[in-house]
């Protein structure tokens, strides 16, 4: 069955999406268009290039998240290094290793720029903190004077994944001005509405969302400015998990429990990764047991006889 897919942000918890995708693919779902924020944009980009869940599972199982935490120069100094990077470069770590990682994976499928993908195949959500606006790649690039088809997909994913304060923001030049671009989760962590238009859709949009049991979360120990900043960042990012999802969105959403894993918990054991994967599988099975596209259309979308997507 054809469907569009939208993936929420969630940092290192992205392997949970792969488990859910495995079940959906085994039940005959194919993805027409894809979108994502932050870690969700990584999964969306790789799927748009032609990867399957079967191919992605070993990649995410072996992925060394700590490899992405790169500092250079004075930033390598103990204690003062992170503070220096935060003050001078607006983020503790550089995000170029994320871009390089995605770039290499996309190259295996012959994809570099948005022009290498079918039109409308992929949308990546980021946040322009200079203008205070959401930035949707590649759609919004024209307003920056950038040719959308020439823009690297991996760079868009890197921008969408640049967690504020944690990773240094990316910069986008436009008419002599510098725009600072950060994690899309800042403005829209779960853009399940992205492919919606008035009328009756020809196929569904299915959302993949990470949820959590807040009572199982480990409290952050606040012992100074740095730990306070880390706790503040974790609260900002993980608060999205507790936001209310209206019924029209909830019925087309696969809610995946993430076992108390934090967005920036970069050291994940193989056991935890497997548990997240299995949690994704269980969530997809639960979703399919109650999902009926025709019922969804009748209740929430049947406002016009015209068939649209």
What are the residue numbers of the active site? 38, 183
The set of residues, in sequence order, having a beta carbon less than 8 Å from that of 210 and lying 6+ positions away, is 8, 10, 13, 16, 241, 256, 258
The set of residues, in sequence order, having a beta carbon less than 8 Å from that of 62 and lying 6+ positions away, is none
DSSP strand pairing (133-137 vs 170-174): unpaired
User: Beta-carbon neighbour count of residue 103 at 10 Å?
Assistant: 18
Q: Which two tokens stand for residue 63?
A: 């992925």
Report helix angle 53-62 to 15-26, nearest 10.
160
Phi, psi (degrees; rounded to nearest 5) at 113: -110, 170
Distances (CA, A) of 175 to 34, 141, 182, 246: 30, 13, 20, 40
Is-cis flag, bond preceding 207, omega within 30? no
d(CA 96, CA 68): 8
d(CA 6, CA 132): 23
Q: Is 137 helix (H, G, I), strand (E, B) or coil?
A: strand
């Amino acid at each position: 069955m054809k469907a569009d897919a939208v993936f929420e942000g969630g940092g290192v918890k992205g392997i949970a999406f792969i488990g859910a995708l495995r079940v959906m693919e085994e039940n005959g779902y194919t993805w027409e268009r894809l979108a994502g924020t932050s870690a969700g944009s990584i999964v969306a980009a790789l799927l748009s290039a032609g990867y399957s869940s079967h191919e992605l599972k070993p990649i995410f199982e072996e992925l060394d998240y700590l490899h992405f935490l790169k500092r250079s120069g004075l930033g390598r100094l103990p204690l003062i290094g992170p503070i220096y990077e935060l003050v001078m470069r607006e983020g503790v770590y550089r995000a170029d290793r994320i871009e390089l990682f995605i770039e290499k994976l996309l190259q295996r499928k012959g994809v570099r720029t948005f022009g290498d993908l079918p039109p409308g195949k992929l949308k990546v959500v980021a946040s322009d903190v200079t203008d205070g606006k959401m930035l949707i790649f590649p759609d919004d690039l024209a307003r920056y004077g950038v040719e959308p088809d020439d823009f690297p997909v991996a760079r868009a994913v890197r921008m969408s994944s640049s967690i504020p304060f944690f990773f240094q923001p990316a910069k986008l030049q436009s008419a002599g001005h510098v725009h600072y671009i950060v994690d899309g989760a800042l403005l829209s962590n779960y853009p399940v509405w992205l492919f919606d238009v008035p009328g009756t859709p020809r196929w569904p949009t299915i959302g993949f969302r990470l949820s959590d049991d807040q009572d199982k979360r480990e409290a952050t120990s606040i012992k100074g400015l740095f730990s306070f900043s880390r706790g503040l960042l974790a609260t900002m990012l993980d608060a999205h998990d507790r936001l209310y999802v209206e019924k029209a969105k909830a019925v087309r959403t696969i809610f995946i429990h993430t076992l108390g894993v934090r967005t920036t918990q970069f050291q994940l054991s193989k056991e935890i990764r497997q548990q997240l994967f299995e949690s994704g599988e269980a969530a997809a099975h639960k979703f399919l047991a109650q999902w009926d596209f025709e019922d969804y259309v009748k209740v929430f979308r049947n406002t016009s006889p015209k068939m649209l997507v």
